[in-house]
Structure 1
Amino acid sequence: MRNLKQIPKRSAVPTALTWDLTTIYPDDAAFKAAVKDVQAEATKMAAMKGQLSQSGADLYRVTKANFDLERQLERVYVYASLKNDQDTGDAAAQALMGQAEGLLATVGAAASWFEPEVLALDPADLQKLIDAEPKLAAYQHIFDVLGQQRAHTLSVQEEKLLAGASDIFAASSKTYSVLSDADLKFPVVQDEKGDDVRLSEGLYGVLLESTTPAVREQAFKALYSVYQQFRHTFASTLASEVKTHNFNADVRHYASAREAAMSANNVPAVVYDTLVKTVNDHLDSLHQYVNLRKEILGLPELHMYDLYTPITGEPSLSYTYEEAQQEALKALSVLGPDYVANVQKMFDTRAIDVVENEGKRTGAYSGGMYDTKPYILLNWQDSLESLFTLVHEMGHSMHSHYTRTNQPYQYGEYSIFVAEIASTTNENLLTDYLLKTQTDPQVRAYVLNHYLDGFKGTVYRQTQFAEFEDYIHTQAAAGETLTADFMSKFYGDLNRRYYGDGVVSDPQIADEWTRIPHFYYNYYVYQYSTGFAAATTLAQRVLSGDDAKREAYLNYLKSGSSDLPLNVMKKAGVDMTQPDYLQTAFKTFDDRLAEFSQLAHELKK
C-alpha cells in the first residue's frame, strides 16, 4: 500500500505561513466585545431616524454616525470571515461567522432608514443642507451617487424589511459554500509518480497540468463524480440564489437583475454587451489555439481536461514560496520603489495565509478592510500558476493599500468593476518580466503558453460564464424552472460553441456550473474579462517608461470610490465604454499565439 499524502490540519501549519489576525482583535473575547459595541451603536443609529433633515449640522452628525457604524461592523465581519475561511470545519469559527452575519442583518435593519430618508428630501433642499455645513463637502460625491438611486429606493419600512432579511437571502450562497468547501469528500487518486493523493480543489488544478494524460483524465472524472452526486442540490442552491437576485431587482424597479447589479457600480449595459459581442467575434482565435494545442500535444482527441497542461511539456519553471516572493518583487519593480516597499511589508508582517490545510477555503483572494492590513488567502503549490496567483492577489492588496491610505473611509473602497484591473495588470507585468528575462526557447514557450492559457481562462472563460449567468437569470425571470438538466443542457451547448469542434465535449463539463462559486456573486464574472482586457492596455502604458503614465496608473490605485469607476479608468488612460481596449487585448493574444506557434513547432522538430 502506497503512502497517502495528507493535507495538514490547521494546527500543523507553521505559524509563519499563516496570517496574523491579532492585529484586528487580540482574541475572540475582544471580537465578542466588539460585537456588543456594534449592537449598542446600532440601537443609537435606529434612534436617529427623522433627525437628518433638521439642519446641515444634523445631516453631518447622522451621516458620520452611519459610516462609523458601518466601519465598526466591517471590522467585526472581516475578522470572523477570515477566521472561518482558514478552517471552514472549525465549529468555533463557524459560530463567530454566525454572529457576524446576524450582526450584519441587525445593523442593516437599524440603518435601513438612512438612504430612503435622504432620498425623500427634495434634491434642492438636500443641497442646501450640504452647503450649510462645510464638513459635508467630504460626502458630496456620496450624496450625488445616492441621488441616482431615487427611483430604486423603497420606503423606510420596506428597506428595513429587506435589510432584516439579508441573512435569509444569503442562505443559498452560504449553503453552497459549506457544502463545497467543507462537506464534499473527494476520492484518492494517483499523481504522476503513482503516489496516492487525496484529491482536493487545490490539487485538482495541479493534476490537470500533469503531462500524463491518464493523470489528467483520472482527476477530471474523479472530481466530477463527486459534484455530480449533488448536482440536484447544487441546482437548488443556485436557482434560489438567482431568484433572490431577480426578486431584489424586481422590488427595486429594475428591468433585470443584470441592470440592478451593474447600476450598483454605475456601469452602463453597453460595457457588458460590447464584451460579449467582441469575445464572440474572436472565438476563431480560441479555436485556433485549441487546435494548435491538440496538434502540439500529439493527441488523437483533445478533451476538456487537456486544456491546462503545458503544451511544451513538463513545466520548466517552479518556485518555492520564498523564491516566488523575490520574483514578484522584481516583476513589480516597474511600478516604483514605494510600491515595492509596500509589497515587501506584506511579506514581512504575516498578511498572507499561504498553504492549503483541511477545511480551508479553496482558491485565493485579497481581503481586509479600511482599519486592517490587506490580507491574502492562498492555497500554495510550487508552480508558476501560484506565482501568478500571488502577484494577482498582491495587485488587489496594493489597490486596497493605496486607496485606504489616500482616501477617507467613505471613499476607502473601490468599485467591484475596477477591482480586477489592478490584479490583472500585475499579471501582465509578470508575463512581460518573464519574457524579458527568460531566453531559453523552451522556457519562453512555456511562459507564452501560460499567458495564452490565462487569456483563455479569463477573457474567454469568464465571458462564457457571464453568458451562462445572464441566461439563467433571464430564464428564471421568464418563469423557467432552473433544474439541473435544464442548466446542464445550456451550459454544455455553450461550452461547445466556445471551444469549437477541436475539443471533445466531455459529458462531465456540462455540470461545470455546479463548482463555480462566482455564480453566487450576482453578475460579477464579466468584470474578470473586462478587467483583464483593460489591464493589457494599462500594463503597456506602465511599461512604456513614461513616468506620467505610471503616475496615472498609481493615481487610479489611490482613487477608491471618490469618482465613478468609468471616470477613474478614463483618467488612468482607458475608456471602457469603447471596444478599443478589447481589440488591443485580442491583438496581444493573436501576436503571442503566433510567436508561441512558431516556437512550439521549432521545439518539436
Structure 2
Amino acid sequence: MEIKKREDINAKDKWKIEKIYKDLEEWEKDFDLLKKMANEIPSFMEKLSEGDKLLEYLKLDEKISRLAENLLVYAFLKSDEDTANTTYQSYKNKIQTYLAELMAKGAFFIPEILSIDEEKLNSEIEKNQGLQLYKFMFEEILKRKPHTLSSEMEELLASVSDCLSAPSNIYNMFSNADLKLPKIKNEEKEEVELTEGNYSIYIKSKDREVRENAYKALFGAYNVFRNTMATTLTSSIKNFSFNAKTRKYENSMEASLKPNNIPIQVYENAIETINNNLDSLHRYVRIKKKLLKLDTMHMYDLYVPLIDLPKDHIEFDDAVKLVSDALAPLGENYLQEFNKGVQNGWIDKYENKNKRSGAYSWGSYDTMPYVLLNYNYTLNDVSTFAHEMGHSMHSYYSRKNQPYVYANYTLFCAEVASTVNECLLINYLINKEKDKNKKLFLVNQQLEQIRTTVFRQIMFAEFEKITHEKIDEGMPLTADDLCAIYRKLNIKYFGEDMIMDEEIDIEWARIPHFYRDFYVYQYATGYSAANAFVNKINVCEEKALEKYLSFLKSGGSDYPINLLQKAGVDMTSPKPIEDTIKRFNELLDILEEY
C-alpha cells in the first residue's frame, strides 16, 4: 500500500549506474576535465578552412561531447531515481547549465563551415581521408545554410538554451516531485495512495467506481493548477516558435521536420489518413460499450479490459522469458544481446518514492543503454518492458556499428524498434492462446495498443498543430482555450457514443511529450512502420530480417525516410498507416463475432 523508499529497493533490481561513475567525486573530476578541454575550443575559430585543423577540431569535439554526455546521463538518471533528492537535482542543474556554456563555445562551428566556399570544403574533404567519415554530416550542415545565423547570434542562442528549456524543467519538477495526488479506495475498499505509476492499474479496474474515482482524482489534481500549466505549456511553444522565426523557417512544424529531411506532407498525411478512418475508432467505442454492457460510455471506461479475467501478476523474471520467446523471430544474436542487457544491469525495475514516473531508455555512446521502468506486474508492464528494451537494443546496435558522429538515430526512427517488440509480443500472445476469453482479452490489448499509439497520438499531433499555428500567428492561448481545443478533438475522435466527461478537458496538462515539439506523431508513424516490418518478418519475406537488423545498425547514417525506404518501408505513402488501420479493423471483426 505504501511506496518503497529508494534505499529499500534490492540492488539487483536497480540499474548499474556506478558503471559510469562510482561516486560524485569521480563525477566532479570529469566535470573539471570537461571544462579544461572545452577551453581549447575557441583556439580553432577562423581556422576550420584548413583540412587538418578541421579534423583536429572534430576529434576534440567528439572527446568533449562523449565526456559531457556521460556526465549528463549520470546526473539525470541519479536525479530520476529520487526526484526529491536535492543533491542530484543540483548536479543535474550544474551540468545542464554548463552545457549551455559549452554550446556557446562551439556555436561558431556551423556558421564557420557555412562561410567556407563549398568547392573548397569538398576539396579539403577529398584530400583528407580522415574527413571523409564526416561527408554526410557536412551534407546535413550545408542544407541548414538558409537557417543558420551569424557566429555571434548562434553563440547568443546557445548561451540562453538553458533558460529556454525552463518550461520543460518546471513541468517535470511539478509533475514528478511537487504534484501530490489524493488517496482513493481500491477494489477491496482500502485507502491507497494514488500515483502516476499505479494510476494505470486503477483506470483498468473492473470496479467502475474505482476507475471513475482514480480518473477524477488524477485530473482534478491537475485542474487545480490549470492556469500554471497553461502558462508553462504556452511558454514552451512560444520558445519553439521564437526559434523557428529566428532561424527563418516558415513555421514551427517546418523547423521541427525540415532538419531531418522529413516532408511536411508526412505529418499532414498522418492526420488526414486517421481523420478519414475515425469511423473505425467510433466503431470500437460502440463495440466496447456493448460488450461491457454499459448504458453510457465514459472516458474512464476506455481502458478497462473487455474480458473479466483474474488479475494478472507477472513476476519480472517471467516477463523476461515471455518477451524473449516473443522476440524469437528477430534471431539468435538479437536474443543473446537482449538477455545480456537484462542480466548486466541495464534496467531499473520498480517504483520507489519520488522516482520519476513512466518509462524510458537513455544512455550515451559510452554507457549502457539504460532502461527506467516502474514495473507493476501487469501485462501492460510486460509490454512496456518489451518497448523500452526495443529502444535500448536499437541504441546498442547503432552504437556498436556506427562511429560516434552517426550513432544517434533521429526521433522519426526512434519509436520503430520499440514498437516492433510490442507488436511481436502481442501477436505471439494472441497466436498461442487457446482459451477463448483470454484470446479476446489479448485482442482488446492490441486494439488498445493501436488506439493509444496511433489514433491517440495523432489526436495529440493535431492538438500540437493547432496550438503551434495559433502561437506562430501571435494568438494568446489561455487554459480555457487549451481545454476547448482539446475537448473538441476528443469529441471528433471518439464520436457520439462517448460521454465527454469534463475532466478530459485538462488532459493536455498531463502529457510530457508536448514539451518535445512535434514528437508525438512519430509514435503513430513508428507504430505503422513497425507493423510493416513485423508483417514482412512474419511472412518470411526475402531478406526482411536482414533489412530490419541493418536498419537497427544504421543509427543516423542517412535521413530517416531514406533509412526506412532502404529497409523496405515507405513512410511518404499512407500505406503503412492504412495497413495498421486494416489490422485494427480485423481485430474489431473478431470482437464483433464474440
> TM-score if structure 1 supplies the norm length?
0.97
Structure 2 distance, partners of 1:430, 1:572, is 21
Structure 1 segment 13-162 matched on structure 2, within 5 A: 13-53=9-49, 55-162=50-157
Between 319-328 and 240-249, the greater mean CA deviation after superposition? 319-328
Q: Which ranges in structure 2 are unaligned for 5 or more consecutive residues?
A: none
Equivalent positions of 1:549-588 (< 5 A) are 549-588=544-583
Q: Which residue of 2 aligns with 1:532?
A: 527
- What is the alpha-carbon distance in structure 2 between the residues aligned to residue 487 and residue 404 of structure 1? 40
CA contact (8 A) 2:111 2:150 kept: yes
Whether the 8 Å CA contact 1:534–1:576 is kept in 2: the answer is yes
Whether the 8 Å contact between 1:51 and 1:62 is mirrored in structure 2 is no
Q: Give the deviation of 1:317 after TM superposition.
A: 4.6
CA apart distance, 1:592: 1.3
What is the CA-CA distance between 1:509 and the residue it aligns to? 0.3
Alignment partner of 1:205 out of 200, 209, 221: 200
Misfit runs of 4+, over 6 Å: none
Which of residues 320, 325, 342 in structure 1 aligns to 2:320?
325
How many angstroms apart in 2 are the aligned matches of 1:557 and 1:71?
21
Q: 1:106, 1:47 → 2: CA distance?
A: 16
What is the one-letter code of the residue matched to 1:33? K
**Structure 1 SS opposite 2:184:** strand
Q: 1: CA distance between counterparts of 2:170 and 2:226?
A: 14
Contact 1:317–1:443, Cα closer than 8 Å, also in 2: no
User: 3-state SS of the aligned residue for 1:413?
Assistant: coil
The answer for the alignment partner of 1:372 in structure 2 is 367
Instruction: Return the alpha-carbon distance in structure 1 between the equivalents of residues 314 and 282 of structure 2.
Output: 31
1:246 matches 2:241: yes
Q: Which has the higher mean CA deviation after the structures are superposed, 542-551 or 555-564?
A: 542-551
Matched-pair contact (CA < 8 Å) for 1:86–1:359? yes
Q: Match of 2:297, SS? A: coil
Work out whether residues 258 and 523 of structure 1, in 8 Å CA contact, stay in contact via their aligned partners in 2.
Answer: yes
Query: Tell me, what secondary structure is at the counterpart of 2:260?
Result: coil
- CA deviation digits over 1:138-171, x for unaligned, max 9? 1101001111100000000000000010100011
Between the aligned partners of 2:345 and 2:125, the Cα distance in structure 1 is 43
- 2:176 matched residue in structure 1: 181
- Paired positions, count: 594
- Letter of the aligned partner of 1:251 in structure 2? T
Query: How far apart are 1:318 and its partner, in Å?
Result: 3.9
| 1:229 paired to 2:224 | yes
Q: How far apart are residue 313 of structure 1 and its match?
A: 2.0
Correspondence list, 1:248-397, <5 A: 248-314=243-309, 317-397=312-392
Tell me the equivalent position of 1:8. 4
**Counterpart amino acid of 1:568?**
L
Whole-angstrom distance in 2 between the partners of 1:546 and 1:576: 19
Which segments of 5 or more consecutive residues in structure 1 lack a partner in the other structure? none
Separation in 1 of the partners of 2:407 and 2:474?
40
1:8-36 residue CA offsets vs partner (Å, 9 max, x unmatched) = 11111111111111111111111111111
Distance 1:581 1:417 in 2: 14
What do residues 357-399 of structure 1 show as CA deviations (whole Å, max 9, x unaligned)?
A: 1111111000001101110000111111001000000110000
3-state DSSP of counterpart to 1:575: coil
Separation in structure 2 between the aligned mates of residue 316 and residue 181 of structure 1, nearest angstrom? 28
TM-score (norm 2): 0.99
Query: Which residue type is aligned with residue 39 of structure 1?
Result: K
Q: Which residue of 2 aligns with 1:519?
A: 514
Secondary structure of the residue aligned to 1:264 is helix
Query: Where do residues 481-500 of structure 1 align in structure 2 (5 Å cutoff)?
Result: 481-500=476-495
Distance apart, 1:67 and its partner CA: 2.3
How many angstroms apart in 2 are the aligned matches of 1:266 and 1:181? 34
Cα contact 1:265–1:416 (8 A) shared by 2 = no
Letter of the 1:583 partner, please give it: E
1:120 Cα offset (Å): 1.1
On the 8 A contact 2:287/2:591 being kept in 1, the answer is no
In the alignment, the residues of structure 1 paired with residue 178 and residue 465 of structure 2 have an alpha-carbon distance, to the nearest angstrom, of: 29
Amino acid at match of 2:22: P
Residues 107-145 of structure 1: CA distance to partner in whole angstroms, max 9, x if unpaired?
101111111111111211110111110111111010011
Between the aligned partners of 2:495 and 2:116, the Cα distance in structure 1 is 55
